[in-house]
Each structure stands twice: as structure tokens, then as C-alpha cells.
Amino acid sequence: MDAKSDAEWFSPEELAAAREDYLQEQEKEQPSPQVKLRYAIALAKSRKRDDKYRAIGILEDLLNQGYAPKESLYWIALTLCGLGEYRASRSYCERLLRMEPSHMKAQLLHKRIKEVVAKEDGVVGVSIFGAVVVAGLALKFLFRR
């Protein structure tokens, strides 16, 4: 399974079931981290941006508790990437790769993020260059008078 297939959507029924389990666990003195992780992944796979941000919050909570750090880091990175927050995503991905350099899904995701960021940086660079050229031509025109 690659990074792209991990992001496939949960059905509304699957998300509702995960939410129900999560809410039941929240009533306990010690909620199950497994249930929290399952719910966070379901939220991460949702099509709604708010759900994705909620997933990141739960995953960061699990990460701070030391529960499933590799899986939490991966899902945070994948979710941030899906939200277009590539630099933050890359940071989490790199944390995971420092923990486990051979993590194939993280390697693929990191490569994809680097490609997108490089492309974005290239577009910004071309835009800046274009603006400098236009400004230079405008100044040349003004000083000719």
C-alpha cells in the first residue's frame, strides 16, 4: 500500500462507527489509545478539512503520550500533505524518517513532498525574476525620458 492509497476515504458509516467508539471511550477514566488512533485515522481520511485538523490534534495528543509514535507521525504528515501544508508535512515526515529510516511509506511521502515544494519554490522564483525584469524595464523606460 502506498501513501496515496492510505488517504482513501472512509465511508460515512465507518467514520460514524469510529466516532461512536471514540465517544464511548472518552467516558472512561482511561480511554483506549487504540480507539483514539482509529478515530483519528478515520478523521484523516474524511473529505472535510475540519475533520482532518481534528485528526491532527488527536494524533499529536497520542504522539505526546508516546502512543504509536511512528504511525502518529506518518498520519500527521500524510494529513498535512493532503491539506496542502507541505512544509509542516515534511517536518513530521523527517521526524519519522529519523526514527525509522527504512519506513517505505514515509520515504515515498517525503519524496512527493520534496517534489511539490521544489515545484512551488520554482514558481515563486520565476515570479520574482519576472517582477524584477518588469521593474527593470519600467525603470529603464522612466530614466530614458
Q: Tens of pLDDT along 100-110?
A: 999 999 999 99
Amino acid at 115: E
Residue 11: band (very low, low, confident or very high) from pLDDT cuts 50, 70, 90: confident
Give the phi and the psi of residue 120 in degrees, each rounded to 5: -60, -45
pTM: 0.76
pLDDT at 120 over 90: no
More confident call, 124 vs 71: 71
Instruction: State mean pLDDT over 114-139.
Output: 64
Residues 6+ apart with CB under 8 A from 113: 77, 81, 86, 89, 90, 93
Q: What does the pLDDT read at residue 3?
A: 45
Gap between the terminal Cα atoms of the chain:
65
Average pLDDT, the chain: 85
Instruction: State mean pLDDT over 131-144.
Output: 62
CATH superfamily to which 3-112 belongs = Tetratricopeptide repeat domain (1.25.40.10)
